[in-house]
Each structure stands twice: as C-alpha cells, then as structure tokens.
Homo-oligomer: A and B are copies of this chain.
C-alpha cells in the first residue's frame, strides 16, 4: 500500500498533498503504467482520512490524465510519456540529423517583416517624441496605441470597444499572469488539451487548480468544462492549436450559456491567428457575442509582426476593467513607451493592415502549395487534411495504418522536420490519434515547401 506523509499543519489541503505525492510517483516512474491504485475505501482506512478526501485526490489525477478508471475495477496508472517542448524536440532532431526543411509551428519568417518602414517610424518617433519617451505612461499603455487598437478591432473584428478597456502588456504570457491576479488564484481554470503547453504551465505556476479540458470536433468540450467545476476557461476559438478547429457559432453560444449560468464564470478568448483566415471573414469573436461581461479578449503582435516585439493587449469587459483599475492599476505598463509610439504610428498610417493583407496572401499561397503537393502525390489517397481554413499550420492524418512516429522518422531521413500531434497533449487522453502530423508553414517559403515534398516522395 502507498504510504504518504500527511502534513496536518500545512496550508495545502490534504487531498492536494495526496494528489501531489501520487503524481510525483507516477512522473518519476516509481508507480508504473498499468499498476492498480488501492481502492478509495482501502486508501481511506489505511491513511485514516475521509473517503471524500481520497475521492478528490483521485478525481484530480483522473482529470489530469495521470490515472484512468475502469468501470467496476478501479483506478490504474496511465502510461505517461511526458512530452518534450517543441524547442527540446527540435534540439533532439538537430543532434540526430540535419534539418533542411523545417515545418515547425514555432518558427517565424522575419524576412516578411517590413523592417525599413518600421525603422523609419522608429527614427521619427525618436525625433518627434523626445521627452514623451521618458515619462512613464498610463498603466494600460499610451492612449494613442489603445485608440489604434480599438479602431483596428472595430474594422477587422467588428468589436465595439472603448480604448479605456484595453490594457497593453509585454506579451500574452504576461497578460495571462495579470488576468489570474484579476480573477483570483483560487478559481478553477481550464485549458484546452491538446494545446500550447506553456498556457498550461502558466496556469499551473500561478493558480491552485488547472484542468486540461478535452476537445471534441467543435472545440473545448462543454460537458468536461461543467464536469470539472471550472470557473474560467481559456480557449482559442479562431484557430485551435494544434487541431485547427474554428469554433462554430453554436459552440460559442453554448460556452457563453455555460458562463452565464453562474456568477463569476469567465471565458478568456485568445484570438491568436484570427488574422489568418483564408476563406470567408473570421467568425465573430465571443467577446462580441457576449451580453454579460464574461469574456476577456486577448491577442498579440507576435505572429503578425515579430516575436521580438513583445506587445500584446487584452480587452476587458466593463466590470473587470473597473476591478483592474482598482486592484492592479498600480502596476506600471510593461511595454516601453518607445515601442508603443512606433506601433501606434505603424497602425495609424495604415501599414499594419497592409502588412497583414500582404502576409495573409503569402501564407495562403504556402498553404495551397502544401495541399497541392499532397493531393497531386500518392499521399493524396492515404491522407486527410484538416484545419486548413485558417492559421499557419494544417493537420495531416494518415489512413493507411502508418504511425505518427514512422512518418516523422521517414521525413527526418529526407531532412524534413515535422511534429506529431501527440506532442501537444499536455496530458494524455485515452483516444489520442497516433496517425497525425502538424505541418506548419510560418517559417518555410513556397519554393522550399515544394522541394521538401519532392525530397520526401523520392
């Protein structure tokens, strides 16, 4: 029987102590995949704690995929293959063979950035603004930039927002840390699984409870969100990473209905990649559909400009904008005033929208090149493409029984780097498809794409 030292003087609830202990035993391999856990009753009497406490600990392990439950039989340790972050697995690949063609999704094509325009505006910001650049600004950022963002959101996303409700910060990671401070560390947070691992990590470092929420074909599963007792859900409705799902309007309304059914439930809408929608106009954001101040909208310039320009923003509903000003208004804005003025001019003079239109065309062409190469080759008959309506990657699923790792290895032999879908599951679920790879095109041009496919099909 597992023996766990319980610290009764600790502020950490007992069920969390039990959960943490078992989790670390699983992660370190001391509890092996397939091993049966003691029954809740046996564990409760062995440890002399209530059965509810054991239930809570097991429920958390279950929610996070560390154990699975077999009806009538009990709880078993899951086979955990702690996923490497993309950077790490890139490093691994680099040591095993040379990458000639890189379809990783984390790459940025800096050659697309309109550097000379940006440099010109930077110079004129230096010449014209001088002392404006030295004084600290409003905690939300300079009004000039918030006004440009509000107008852009109106034209491009149909959102009616006052610049007063926009908060500028050093990237979406930082903004999420602020949102957690705003809503409270003790709320139950949900993140999409699969999804960006770093989103899970941020919530895990900053809150007491975070649940990986499984996806169905419309997005984050409403029944899981309700079942886990989640208070705040983080979603990417425009283009889910990595599954490529664009959340249909029915699910958007279901999500809002979930939020409305209790007070202090919120949705964090991360609208990343909304700019890269290739067919029709992008769907209305949850923020615009919301009638009850339950959606926080968040986006950045990482993909549309460059990763090194650390500027993100969020739009707060009215009630939270007030709360932010009251409780977090003492924080200084984390983006240098210089960058803010330069971006404000860039947007005000129309460069931003021209730039987005230009790169959207380029990315669409890359996507088309990938799809054409697949369809015109022998891959066409054995694969299925999904998530191609928007964003900077597609999902390619194989129907001929070949596994993800076999695909990745044979691509690697041809010098081609692709990632497997399973890498993006922060936590394992029972039915992860093992036949899919992610083809990103943010860091590879059309010519290289064709060469890569030629090299693979040889």
Chain B residues lying within 8 Å of A328, measured Cβ to Cβ, are 205
Chain B residues lying within 8 Å of A171, measured Cβ to Cβ, are 332, 334
Q: Confirm or deny: A35 has a beta carbon within 8 angstroms of a beta carbon on chain B.
A: no
Chain B residues lying within 8 Å of A327, measured Cβ to Cβ, are 205
Of B85, B185, B334, B336, which contacts A174 at CB under 8 A? Answer: B334
Of B12, B131, B177, which contacts A186 at CB under 8 A? Answer: B12
Q: Confirm or deny: A348 has a beta carbon within 8 angstroms of a beta carbon on chain B.
A: no
Q: Which residue of B lies closest to A137 (CB)?
A: B308
Distance A374 CA – B165 CA, assembled complex (angstroms) = 47
Closest CB in chain B relative to A428 CB, distance in Å: 20
Of B126, B134, B135, which contacts A123 at CB under 8 A? Answer: B126
* A135-B198 contact in complex given A13-B11, A173-B332, A174-B170, C-beta closer than 8 Å: no
Q: Confirm or deny: A291 has a beta carbon within 8 angstroms of a beta carbon on chain B.
A: no
Closest CB in chain B relative to A177 CB, distance in Å: 6
> Do A170 and B334 have beta carbons less than 8 Å apart?
yes
Chain B residues lying within 8 Å of A162, measured Cβ to Cβ, are none
> Do B122 and A110 have beta carbons less than 8 Å apart?
no
Chain B residues lying within 8 Å of A108, measured Cβ to Cβ, are 134-136
Distance A335 CA – B130 CA, assembled complex (angstroms) = 20
Q: Confirm or deny: A156 has a beta carbon within 8 angstroms of a beta carbon on chain B.
A: no
A231-258 residues with Cβ-Cβ distance < 8 A to B are none
Size category of the A interface is 35 or more
Q: Which residue of B lies closest to A87 (CB)?
A: B330
Interface string of A270-300 (1 = CB under 8 A from B): 0000000000000000000000000000000
Q: Which residue of B lies closest to A184 (CB)?
A: B205
Of B11, B115, B135, B177, which contacts A208 at CB under 8 A? Answer: B11
Chain B residues lying within 8 Å of A133, measured Cβ to Cβ, are 115, 306, 308
> Do B170 and A335 have beta carbons less than 8 Å apart?
yes
Q: Which residue of B lies closest to A132 (CB)?
A: B308
Q: Confirm or deny: A206 has a beta carbon within 8 angstroms of a beta carbon on chain B.
A: yes
Interface string of A308-329 (1 = CB under 8 A from B): 1110000000000000000110
Distance A132 CA – B198 CA, assembled complex (angstroms) = 24
Q: Confirm or deny: A456 has a beta carbon within 8 angstroms of a beta carbon on chain B.
A: no
Q: Which residue of B lies closest to A196 (CB)?
A: B330
Q: Confirm or deny: A222 has a beta carbon within 8 angstroms of a beta carbon on chain B.
A: no
Q: Confirm or deny: A25 has a beta carbon within 8 angstroms of a beta carbon on chain B.
A: no
> Do A310 and B330 have beta carbons less than 8 Å apart?
no
Most buried by B among A11, A209, A308: A308
A103-162 residues with Cβ-Cβ distance < 8 A to B are 108, 110-111, 113, 115, 119, 122-123, 126-127, 130-131, 133-137
14 cross-chain CB contacts under 8 A: A10-B186, A11-B209, A85-B330, A113-B134, A115-B130, A134-B308, A170-B174, A170-B335, A181-B206, A198-B330, A198-B331, A310-B334, A310-B336, A338-B339
